[in-house]
Structure 1
């Protein structure tokens, strides 16, 4: 069981070092433990060791784990979110990382209004223009954010991307750099109701480079829990 503790210590050390290299403090970066496919008893260990922010790709997994994990845990929905599933998590997650269509944003607005909740959201950007990925094209991001800014029950907090899967993390540096520039450019427009202070990018294979380029949230699963078993 202690392998998770060892993994967390290793990841923590790398996050801290990358933060230092980027001229920031360790506490400026949220290490989001991606708990998809992991059972509650395993996730609980990570929480015990200080990782109370958990990222899930699927609504169903949040539904299954929400009650057993109890209070003191902060859930983030990081995967593609279908409009018809917003109602199940609107009162369960702290942040939705994957807003990439007006239809989805309107549903979050509607469900948020019904529950009296203002949901923090990130706009998912398809920074490498990969056909297999969701996300708004970089050049359309500002216009999309302006549409979201008019909604009262969601608050745009920043940007998220799923960078290409690469063998060498340096290959993604240009994309992380472009994401940071996009964040800076949109911030400079001072759009009402938009506080772009979050940049969610970088996963197990490339989070150190992502932090060096300005990530404020890194999404690490395998690096913490080990390889996933999808057969379960």
Structure 2
């Protein structure tokens, strides 16, 4: 895809975000570094990757002001590879993972942001927490002792469906989880403010339901 097309796509989405609370996460998985540079030159500053190895390989090739977000499932044994630079891990789905992020971030004297990933889709293949599981984490003594991970909100992946009513329900469910956790556990914490929902096919709906981070790949870079 020519640079002007990537640039045009980015600017169109950025324009759509004007006046909303949302920021764009450009999903760069499987795209070569040259395309990421084109997106960077067109103004993209938050890049989302699904795989640790790919993110770790691309990070040194791009400017240091890029905010790297890990948006795919993260195994605890892979945290060490991204701990030196990752800004936000959007896929926190267990206390075990949180504790490992804490351990690895401490080694680098960093604070890494995390989003609690919830299972909102009508698809078993998608991972994520239930509300009860999330509350169990937040009520634990281990969570309260964390110093190098800061939970900044929630993330969810909606069902892959053209059914707008279903998508709206799922986005509202995630927004409801955010509101409840904010009121009960983060009322005084201004940094707990992110609701990451919406992708290339459904971000318009997600924006209307209160998304603050949309994860868009193919609408910027074209299909892989």
Cα distance change of structure 1 residues 157 and 207 upon mapping to structure 2, 3 Å threshold:
same
Write the deviation string for residues 172-223 of structure 1: whole angstroms up to 9, x where unpaired.
1111111111111111114488642111111001111111111100000001
**Contact map agreement 1:180 1:213 (CA 8 A) in 2:** yes
- CA distance in 1 between counterparts of 2:67 and 2:15 reads 22
SS in 2 for 1:189: helix
Give yes or no for the alignment of 1:68 onto 2:64: no
Give yes or no for the alignment of 1:59 onto 2:57: no
1:150 to 141, 145, 151: 145
Q: Residue 102 of structure 1 aligns with which residue?
A: 95
How many residue pairs get matched? 219
1:115 to 96, 108, 111: 108
Q: Residue 180 of structure 1 aligns with which residue?
A: 175
- CA distance in 1 between counterparts of 2:185 and 2:99 reads 22
Give yes or no for the alignment of 1:160 onto 2:155: yes
**Contact map agreement 1:183 1:196 (CA 8 A) in 2:** no
- CA distance in 1 between counterparts of 2:79 and 2:202 reads 30
SS in 1 for 2:193: strand
Cα distance change of structure 1 residues 206 and 118 upon mapping to structure 2, 3 Å threshold:
same
- CA distance in 2 between counterparts of 1:149 and 1:133 reads 28
2:119 to 123, 126, 139: 126
SS in 2 for 1:158: strand
TM-score normalized by the length of structure 2: 0.91
- CA distance in 2 between counterparts of 1:151 and 1:141 reads 15
Structure 1, gaps ≥5 residues long:
17-24
CA RMSD of aligned residues (A): 1.8
